[in-house]
Amino acid sequence: MVLFKHTLSAICLSLALVVADPQCITHNETFVPDAVLRVSTSNISQPCYPSKSTVLVNGTSPGPELRIKEGITYWIRVYNDMTDKNLTMHWHGLTQAMAPFSDGTPQVSQWPIPPLHFFDYEINVPIGMAGTYFYHSHEGFQAVSATGPLIVEEDRVPCPYQYDEDKIIFLQDVFTKDESTIEAGLVASPLSWSGETGMILVNGKGGGSANGTVCNASLSIIDVQRGKTYRLRFIGATALTFASLALEGHDLEIIEADGHSTQPHNTSFLQLGTGQRFSALLHTKPNPEKSTYYLQLESRERPTLTRGFAVLNYGPKPSTPFTPPSQPPLTLPNTTLGFLDYQLHPFLPPKDGSFPTAQDVTRRVTITVHQRVSGQTVWIENHYDWTTAFPAEPYLVSLYKNDSIEFPSMERALANNGIDPISRAFPAQIGEVLEIVIQNTGADAGGLDIHPFHAHGAHYWDLGSGNGTYDATTNEAKIAASGPPIQRDTTMLYRYAKSTANGTDMGWRAWRLKITEPGVWMVHCHILQHMLMGMQTIWVMGNETEVLGKVKRPDVQGYLEYGGSVYGNENRWPSVVHFTDNEEGDGWSDYQ
């Protein structure tokens, strides 16, 4: 575990107050990053799985646990120690609105870190957004293993719940093929599928069965003591798996979703899609009837069933490893639809006017998702996919360079279902209150799938989900009756059948978002396979002056070329722009 003590470097000291004018600063030997992540590849074999080349963070998967505090600027140095692959690191769920080049998306926010180079990421979590997050590479399929927990601790806004200790339950998938083979297959014509997950790992370990094949590998152990309260932080860092899970003999009390404290909500099971996080309180038994209880996890909405386990252990450290049970102790629910929708509410009622009502909405954008199978199989959103490298450089970089694409036009977008066909982005203006509806439709071949949709840049008010086509009036009545929704960054678009007619609306998810911060952000399905098959969009919030005016050329010059001067290497210190350097935040307001 890496527990940061925030160390103010000499450079930060000279900038201890508000940085009025962000400027380029060289991170030479006097600069001390708050944490260092080193990414490498190595042939590793896990029990049940063939040895293969795997992208690791600090030598392991998952990588080290990072802990930071809200409201403070941190610099995390990420080394790409791989000799033949690009890399980025994304801080999943953090808004990053204050540091536009530190979001870690090679499609948008930065050129990837070239082999044998490093990049210093600037991170400052708005006060009030402490919670459970994770980091992962955003390059290709690397996030399947190059990932780890990122915990933002409460500091200025105390956690409303008391607990003795927290424990991380970090879910990952494992595949037989390595990540570059999987990536190549997904963009090939015809499509070569990744295969199904071989196991659902908990904190890097797991065993159970996949498609009927038993794997008796040793299980992760979650040590607990009697009569205590634990905060279990569930992190859906899977590539594909939508997991249903429950703990034998214990219920859970949900207290946080995607970085926001909720009213307590009791549940006997959880569903966790890729990209989603929940915290739940676990009250351990004062007098357990046995010393170990299984955590059982199963994949949902896939053609085959993967079932994995971990162990909740009340007893002494075992001398031999725990292995999966011969019979699953639990029967987990089969239905996935609408899990927790309209049931989770913010811990404190939203500050006046912060949750926009239907009357406040200034524009509704429907993103229709569809799978096209003529030629290469791609997922398209309002007729566009993002597999084709367009533009051939990160979007924000292109906007700065102003040569290959022009700034998105609102006018063209308004005439074309919200997307500007020339710049292929969804533009929005500061102050707009958007309702974004993601609409599932039957594929060319009729199939339907589930899609955990994730937004970078901001958390949206989650308006729920339903079958058929979205109806604003009916849904507004449902919200009024159930109470204010919570803010999330990843929510599920369900499927209500396995197939329907080509193009038929079947299932929606709706979000509401007041645009307050300029920036360029991805919105995408967090199933890595779908993402690589085109299920990604780009949103440009704010006009040209707002998006590009905060820092101008020549200060950003080092960001505009692959391997530019913001990337350090053995012979060169990087020079980067400091956007938020100070101990107390930069006037970046409380998030609401």
- Site residues (CB under 6 A) for ligand C2O? 90, 92, 136, 138, 275, 454, 456, 522, 524, 526
Distance of CA 5 to the CA centre of its chain: 25
Helix (H) or strand (E) run with residue 522 in it: strand 519-525
Q: Which two tokens stand for residue 354?
A: 């912060």
Identify which of residues 509 and 530 has a Cβ nearer to Cu ion in the complex.
530
Instruction: Cite the beta strand spans of 229-333 per DSSP E.
Output: 229-236, 242-247, 252-257, 260-267, 270-272, 277-283, 292-300, 306-313
Identify which of residues 245 and 527 has a Cβ nearer to Cu ion in the complex.
527
Distance CA 587, CA 216 (A): 53
Distance CA 566, CA 569 (A): 10
Distance CA 560, CA 577 (A): 13
Identify which of residues 169 and 246 has a Cβ nearer to ligand C2O in the complex.
169
Identify which of residues 119 and 175 has a Cβ nearer to Cu ion in the complex.
175
- Decide: is 454 part of the binding site for Cu ion (CB under 5 A): no
CB of 535 to ligand C2O, least distance (A): 11
Whether the CB-CB separation of 233 and 154 falls below 8 Å is answered with no
Distance of CA 535 to the CA centre of its chain: 15
Whether the CB-CB separation of 563 and 114 falls below 8 Å is answered with yes
- Decide: is 524 part of the binding site for Cu ion (CB under 5 A): no
The pattern of x and - marking residues 178 through 207 that bind Cu ion according to CB under 5 A reads ------------------------------
Choose which of 87, 397, 522, 525 interacts with Cu ion (CB under 5 A): 525
Identify which of residues 63 and 574 has a Cβ nearer to ligand C2O in the complex.
63
Q: Which does 307 bind (CB under 5 to 8 A by kind): ligand C2O, Cu ion, none?
A: none
- Decide: is 528 part of the binding site for Cu ion (CB under 5 A): no
Q: What is the DSSP string of 3-67?
A: E------HHHHTT-S--SS--EEE--TT---SEEEEEEEEEE--TTS--EEEEEETTBSS-PPEE
Q: Which does 530 bind (CB under 5 to 8 A by kind): Cu ion, ligand C2O, none?
A: Cu ion
Distance CA 183, CA 410 (A): 34
Identify which of residues 228 and 372 has a Cβ nearer to Cu ion in the complex.
372
Identify which of residues 246 and 272 has a Cβ nearer to Cu ion in the complex.
272
Q: Which does 92 bind (CB under 5 to 8 A by kind): ligand C2O, Cu ion, none?
A: ligand C2O
CB of 395 to Cu ion, least distance (A): 21
Q: Which does 275 bind (CB under 5 to 8 A by kind): ligand C2O, Cu ion, none?
A: ligand C2O
Identify which of residues 274 and 500 has a Cβ nearer to ligand C2O in the complex.
274
Whether the CB-CB separation of 70 and 126 falls below 8 Å is answered with yes
HSE at residue 276, side-chain half, CA atoms within 13 A, is: 26
Question: Which residue minimizes CB distance to ligand C2O?
Answer: 92
Q: Which does 424 bind (CB under 5 to 8 A by kind): ligand C2O, Cu ion, none?
A: none
List, in sequence order, every residue forming a beta bridge with 259; answer none if it has no partner.
none
The pattern of x and - marking residues 404 through 443 that bind Cu ion according to CB under 5 A reads ----------------------------------------
The pattern of x and - marking residues 313 through 352 that bind Cu ion according to CB under 5 A reads ----------------------------------------
Instruction: Return the SS3 of 433.
Output: strand
Q: Which residues bind Cu ion (CB under 5 A)?
A: 451, 525, 527, 530
